[in-house]
Amino acid sequence: MNQTEIIKNLPYQEPFLFVDLLTEVSENGVTGNYRFKEDAFFYEGHFKGNPITPGVILTETMAQIGVVCLGIYLLKNEILTTDKNPQIALTSNQVDFYLPVLPNEKVTVISEKQYFRFNKLKCAVKMINEKNELVCRGTISGMIIAE
């Protein structure tokens, strides 16, 4: 399964799809990018005259790239051979934030698998900006099955 097929199998669509490109995918982790569009719905009220990407959206971006894309890759044999759709549920997250992300800013998410067993995937995930500065990092876990 290649990067395009992984993105195609994501259970998200605009305006809630936060994956543009996957640059690396393996059994041990994933790296991908997303550019936050200036006209994204959440900038209208966060904050007046000084739009900043909400932390919950940064966490969602890290989860989509770092956990869901990796989970789809890990379940690729089931998905490709049975035509089953991946079902995902976030189970926990702990994220520390260091820098803001502004409209039109491109971020890179780097995820390393900590474990995948009994359909639970736990990853150490970090986000960096175009200046290679750490934006946020933490651990995100989710349940993923092909159904």
Active site residues: 46
The yes-or-no verdict on residue 81 having pLDDT over 90 is no
Region for 100 from its dihedrals, namely left if φ exceeds 0, alpha if ψ lies in -120 to 50, beta otherwise: beta
Token representation of residue 1:
């399964």
3-class DSSP state for residue 31? strand
Question: What per-residue confidence (pLDDT) applies to 48?
Answer: 87
Q: Which domain holds residue 91?
A: 3-146
Per residue in 17-54, pLDDT tens? Answer: 999 999 999 999 999 999 999 999 999 988 888 999 99
Stronger pLDDT, 112 or 80, i.e. the higher one: 112
Asked whether the beta carbons of 75 and 86 are under 8 A apart, the reply is yes
**Residue 145: in which H helix or E strand, if any?**
strand 134-146
Q: Give the chain's domain count.
A: 1
Cβ count near 91 (within 10 Å): 13
Supply the DSSP string of 104-132, one letter for each residue.
T-EEEEEEEEEEEETTEEEEEEEEEETTS
Domain harbouring 32, CATH code: 3.10.129.10
Length of the chain as a residue count: 147
Question: What per-residue confidence (pLDDT) applies to 147?
Answer: 75
Asked whether the beta carbons of 86 and 133 are under 8 A apart, the reply is no
Residue 133 C-alpha from the chain's centroid: 18
Percent of the chain with pLDDT over 70: 100
